[in-house]
Amino acid sequence: MSRLPKPIGTFGKPTEPRKQKNGSFRTTVRYYGSTGSKQIARFGESADDARNKLAEAMRDYQEVHGISRITRNTKLIDLAAELLTELRGDDSYTEGNIEDYRREIYVSDDKRAKPGTVKIENSVGHLQVWQATAGELDRHLKRLVSLGLRRKAKQHKIILKAMMAIAVRHGAIDINPIDGVAAFTRRKNRARGKVKDQRALPAFRAQVRTWARGEAIPGTPAYRSGPRRDWTLVWVIDVITGTGMRPHEAFAVLLDEIDIECPDPYLDVTGTLIEVRGKGRGRWVRKPFPKTDNSWRRFLLPPHSIDAIHHTIADLKSSGRPNPDRLLYPSRNGTPRSPTNFGRPWRAARGSEFDWVTPRTFRRGVGTEVDNFYDDPERAARQLGNTKEVAKQHYIDIPETVPDNREVLERWATGGGGGKV
């Protein structure tokens, strides 16, 4: 009668410890894996010591299939490296997604990086898997929140959950400790209704032009020396306010996807910028597809945006700067323009009078204006490249006008009879 094969992923019966010539004790056990069986041996100063060491080895053992071995003693920073390896092999994650994870895991070696910035590497990265309890990770996340880093805390929670899920899959721990971490409490935002902000765009556009001419504005002195102020800022603002596109989309627009001479001038959004990090400062590259499925769209351009594009194209021709990718807004050396560097003139041009203005302010303004004029959040969502739910939650920022109930309320208040009869 043939012996039944052992189940995959199980151990046989450990041998009794045997004393060796050097006085130590040796015990073994056989592991039955998908690629065959393997003998595991441990030595101890006594029989019990050898049994205990073999028991620990059996507890921590994981069959290796071309990836790092994950045990309860694996450090979280090594577990994070394993996560990044998994993400690179998953087609559902883009280079930008992976870079977002990597940036929150490792401390930057860029000399310009702010020292002391909290990353997983310099906070909980030294912990071993068994030490990363729900309580320990909860304290880490709450510390970030207490420092005013709520968004970072949410990012770390997402990354740590994915990391610890690997440890669970490999049997290093039984449950994901992030499941036991306290949920983030919802902050109650005050009623928004930024009607005043919504009407500030003409004055803001005028101030940016004043800044570009080199004149002083509130919070920013007049131009004195150095590189001349770049009118590109003026033109980018006019394109964004006429479309509602994301800044990363604006810097990825191609000249070949614009037609301002046809009866209905238009601009197509077919890509976005992502940052690719490596040694040194990293670089920005154009990704040939936009952020989401809803983001691929064609904008019919209003006159102020058409005028801005005319000026931009004329400036490109007169400057003679290199532009191998035929971008609408290339940098001085012809590469994709860095959204990070763009923030510097942006902050200078908004000064103190409009220090609350961000590129997202314009997206919110576009969505709000379209929705309130047409009473159609779906129309606003299509303009922004979002779903209706996202547009209503994040971008439509003036309270909706309720239906006209004046007549029935007046009858009720004056005794003229309210309600149906």
Say what the pLDDT of residue 187 is: 60
Using CA atoms, how far apart are residues 79 and 161, in angstroms rounded to an integer?
11
* 14 token code pair: 């450990």
Q: Is 148 exposed, middle or buried (0-12, 13-18, 19+ CB in 10 A)?
A: exposed
Q: How far is CA 77 from CA 99, 183, 300, in A?
A: 16, 24, 48
Q: What is the arrangement of strands in the sheet containing 297-300, beginning at the earlier edge strand?
A: 258-259, 266-269, 297-300
* 299 token code pair: 């904008």
Q: What share of the chain is helix, strand, coil (3-state, %, to 5)?
A: 45, 10, 45
Using CA atoms, how far apart are residues 193 and 253, in angstroms rounded to an integer?
32
Say what the pLDDT of residue 62 is: 55
What DSSP designation does 256 have?
Answer: G
Four-residue CA torsion sign, 339, 342, 346, 348: positive
Say what the pLDDT of residue 16 is: 94
The conformational region for residue 148 under phi > 0 = left, psi -120 to 50 = alpha, else beta, is left
Nearest Cα neighbor of 121 from 81, 180, 177, 71 is 81
Using CA atoms, how far apart are residues 255 and 317, in angstroms rounded to an integer?
12
- Mean pLDDT in order along the chain per 10 residues (421 residues): 71 91 91 77 91 84 57 92 88 77 87 84 94 95 92 94 92 91 70 57 91 93 88 92 88 93 91 71 77 78 93 92 92 88 88 85 83 81 73 60 72 65 47
Q: How far is CA 158 from CA 26, 182, 318, in A?
A: 44, 13, 48
Using CA atoms, how far apart are residues 221 and 36, in angstroms rounded to an integer?
75
Say what the pLDDT of residue 220 is: 92
Q: How far is CA 47 from CA 30, 38, 59, 138, 193, in A?
A: 18, 22, 18, 41, 75
Say what the pLDDT of residue 188 is: 54
pTM above 0.75, yes or no: no
